[in-house]
Structure 1
Amino acid sequence: MGEGSPPRSARMSGPRRALARTPPLWWSLLYFFCLLCGYYVLRPVRDAMGASADAATVFPHAWIEFARGHGRELKDFALQVLFTCTFVAMLALQPVYGALVARFPRRALLPLVYGVFIVCLFGFHWAFHAQVPGRGMVFFVWTAIFNLFAVTVFWSYMADVFDDRQARRVYGYIGAGGTAGAVLGPMLTQWLVQPLGVANLLLVSAGFLSVCVLCVVRLRPWAMARERAYGLASGEGAMGGSVWAGLRLVWQRPALRAMAITLFFSVGAATLLYNQQSAIAREFYPSAEAATRYFARIDSAVNLLAILTQLLLTRWLLNRHGVAPALLMPGLILMLGFAALMASPLPMMVAVVQVAQRASEFALSKPARETLYTRMDRPSRYKGKAVIDTAVFRGTDLAFVWVHKAVALLGTQAVFAAGALAAAGMTAGAWSIVRAQRGLPGAAGPVPSVTEPNPRGAA
């Protein structure tokens, strides 16, 4: 059935009608669900590697001996070393990703990216079975890279499939599908780690990524239909350009630059909050069991609030009021949260602010930013976006880990005051995105059918 005329769907409620009218939504939901479920199957394995007391599990023997030769135990600086290695790897991979985007058409690029990740998982499966020294460090760094690049590629592809108006209607639902995957992934790890073992869990994740490749193929006709309807450059040809083009695009284009600034302050505020939360949890919950329950409650609350917001608020907010409220609200909420924490830095208050920060990022900020990419050209979506979501994200994460270490010497109040300043910078950056997006091409023009792609044209 076409988008404009089905009498049965006309009698449906608003949310059900949106689902019935948009069949690619189901493939996108499955895609994001499997992507985040596959990642969250891996995340507990990564965290266990980072927290391992056995340095030989995490680092190569040569690194351990080098540190001991300088009077240091490498396990005492495990997270700092791992975060630094992650950032260096991100920078090294930027030109590689840029070269892939420039030289491969979309029909080859996306399956190639996920295919490489699947092959890596089989390699790690062997390394874990063989107890290869240093596997923990490589796996920790690789998992962070996988998370950022795989999710970035997903949202870039969504901007190929949906136009601005369609994105405002469906991105909340797609985000909810990803949140559901994020909830199921850790559960699968808990259920399967005993009977299967850690190494075989990696194959479970590889299975989910294989479904992602299927979804990429099935969504291709709608991406092509949208490009034909709007006269856009086809993603079926190689994009060309320099491998460093993403960095230049972020610097030159106001909307991308505003997004990079906003992400810098957003990640900075979140990192300060997370690190201080860990310090407070160590004080109030000294046992591993109590701390685990505390963090588990936070994760459960984040996922519940995020999925409710994505289903009930995000679509309505983006459709009725555009991106401005969704971009501005998280920063304002975080400023109020840090102000409350300066007055009452108790674990329960920290948990409440953490839940509000993460849920508002997942359910409001992220969908709002992603809808704007539907109004940008393909180099911005694939090259500029990748720089923001990987190098800027990880660079900020690394910088604020050390900022927290310095500011924490002045006490808890100083950390929360710095967080409030970062939240204010985040809000100012969000306002700059709102202003910059006014200069982007609008959603005017024909709305392509997203229910009946032309199979002949997809060949």
Structure 2
Amino acid sequence: MATSTTEQQRGFFRVESAEWPALLLSFAYFFCVLGSYYVMRPVREQLVAAAGSTSLPSFYLATFLVTLALTPIYGALVARFPRKRFVPIVYAFFILCLIAFIPFFELQGQLNPKVLGGVFFVWVSVFNLFVVAVFWSFMADIFTVDQSHRLFSVISIGGGLGAIGGSLLAGSLVGHIGIAKLLAVSAGLLGCSIACIAGLVVWSRRNPIEKGVDRNEVVIGGGMLAGARQVFASPFLRSMALLLLLGDGVGTVLYALQADYAKTHFPDGIARTEFFAHIDLAINITQTVLQLSLTPWVLTRLGPVIAVIAADAVKVAGLLLLVLVGNPALIAVALVATRSFAYGMEKPSSDSLYTRVDREERYKAKGFIDTAVWRLGDFTIALAMNGLRGLGVTTTGFACLATFAAGGACWTAWRLRGTRELAAHANR
């Protein structure tokens, strides 16, 4: 659907009357998904801090291997079932797993923190990758290019508010109900997302992108490993994978540095949970402000590529501050700045680019990039950090390397403009 200059000038929050039900359901869907994740996220972080960041390479390797094993299973679901079935199946699986973890957290003090921390870290990391990847693949499959430019930043606000709500729930409830019962709260929020999916299936049937085609009933087909093959074959998808890896270089470095800081200053599990919940809250408030103000303007007026470049430029600035000052206390400041722009501007912008590829690439190739490629990057970066520590690299040195990664992401995003997929939609 083409977007004229006149339409763009009508406002970056323009919503057509027929789009309101889908917008509200998508908003609520993302609220529930990220609310669920951010209730359990500080539980994971306090376990990582207890084990120490030197354990991260083994955690990331296990996550990568599990993700690699699950990727063809997910590909098989996509290939054999219509989206109205395989999307809810993914969420139901993770709800059952969450419930199964509750008894183990009741015994947390009696279990080896590295064992419990490793298993839960892997599971939450896989959870985050798959439920969020499925969400954005679903969004890219029910909205047009024009709708993605206008609506994705608004939908992202729902996720930002869910993340704020989840962080607040975790920080305020953990001292009263304990860590184990937080998982039940998380499972309840994720269950609500399935109801939103059902509503979106009904809306998309009434408002199809392709006239006469109900995508809810169409089986995408293809092979289980098609996503990996597509990434290697397509210059656009290879660039998207590289963009993700460079962003991961920033995120993983700061994540590891923050884990070490928390281990030193917060030896108690509940205190660490509250600390990470407060960090998450600051990030989520900042990214929501971005999604309400700057992101929709940049996305609709300047386009998704410029939005990605702007977000990575802010990361460069935040990391340079850490490099120049060198105070470990500024790690939290750099983490808030980089993650806020990563999820408040870069993520909705880069995800909108997938409206330009076909359905199989939206679910399979994007799923492969957002899961297996991401976790391979985590493992490689964390392992390299352990090696560099042995060579005497400090916080300042790691911040320098992360700065180069953010700069490389700016260049990679700029080069996306020349790919066939973006050239075909230059005026959309």
The match for 1:267 among 237, 240, 248 is 248
CA distance in 1, matches of 2:185, 2:207: 34
2: CA distance, partners of 1:161 / 1:313? 25
Letter in 2 for 1:89: V
Give the Cα separation in 2 of the matches to 1:186 and 1:354: 16
Aligned residue number for residue 423 of structure 1: 406
2:365 matched residue in structure 1: 384
Question: Structure 1 pair 281/39, CA: closer, same or farther in 2 (3 Å)?
Answer: closer
Q: For residue 192 of structure 1, what is the aligned residue in structure 2?
A: 173
Aligned-residue sequence identity (percent) comes to 39
Query: Post-superposition shift, 1:182?
Result: 0.8
The residue type equivalent to 1:117 in the other structure is F
Partner of residue 124 from structure 1, selected from 101, 110, 131: 101
Native 8 Å contact 2:49 2:260 kept in 1: no
Which residue of structure 2 lines up, in the alignment, with residue 96 of structure 1? 73
2:93 & 2:322 partners in 1: Cα distance? 44
Match of 1:47 in 2: 45
Aligned partner of 1:346 in structure 2 is 327
How many pairs align? 412
| Aligned residues of 2:311 and 2:342 also touching (Cα < 8 A) | yes
Structure whose alpha-carbon radius of gyration is higher: 1
For residue 22 of structure 1, give the secondary structure of its aligned residue in structure 2: helix
Check the 8 A contact 1:281/1:347 in 2, yes or no: no
Gaps in structure 1 of 5+ consecutive residues? 1-12, 54-74, 446-459
TM-score (norm 2): 0.86
Between 1 and 2, higher relative CO (CA 8 Å, sep ≥ 6) is seen in 2
Structure 1 residues 250 and 232: alpha-carbon distance in aligned structure 2, compared to 1, 3 A threshold: farther
> 1:34 is matched by which residue type in structure 2?
C
Q: Which residue of 2 aligns with 1:302?
A: 283
Aligned-CA RMSD value: 3.1
Aligned residue number for residue 15 of structure 2? 18
Match of 1:31 in 2: 29
Query: Secondary structure of the residue that 1:326 maps to in structure 2?
Result: helix
Write the mapping of 1:400-439 to structure 2, written as runs, cut at 5 A. 400-408=381-389, 409-436=392-419, 438-439=421-422
Shift of 1:268: 0.8
Give the corresponding residue for 1:253.
234
Deviation at 1:225, TM superposition (A): 4.3
1:111 aligns with 2:92: no
Using the alignment, how far apart are the partners of 1:292 and 1:194 within structure 2? 10
**CA–CA distance in structure 2, aligned partners of residues 277 and 138 of structure 1:** 20
Displacement of 1:318 = 1.2
Aligned residue identity for 1:190: G
TM-score by length of 1: 0.80
1:27 to 1:292, Cα distance in 2 relative to 1, 3 A: closer
For 1:410, what is the secondary structure of its paired residue?
coil
* Match in the other structure for 2:5: none
Stretches of structure 2 that go unaligned for 5 or more consecutive residues are 1-9
Q: Is the 8 A contact 2:99 2:183 kept in 1?
A: yes
Deviates more, 1:114-123 or 1:175-184: 114-123
Residues 293 and 150 (structure 1 numbering): CA distance in 2 closer, same or farther, change over 3 Å?
closer
Change (3 A) 1:83 1:295: same
What is the CA–CA distance in structure 1 between the aligned matches of 2:102 and 2:327, rounded to whole Å? 42
Q: 1:15/1:77 Cα in 2 relative to 1: closer, same or farther (>3 Å)?
A: closer
- Is 1:396–2:377 an aligned residue pair? yes
Instruction: Give the 3 Å change call, closer, same or farther, for CA 19–400 of structure 1 in structure 2.
Output: farther
Number of the residue aligned with 2:121: 140
The aligned runs of 1:270-349 (5 Å cut-off) are 270-279=251-260, 285=265, 298-347=279-328, 349=330
Q: Distance in 2 between matches of 1:177 and 1:363?
A: 11
**What's the CA shift for 1:99?**
1.0
Deviation of the 1:102 alpha carbon? 0.8
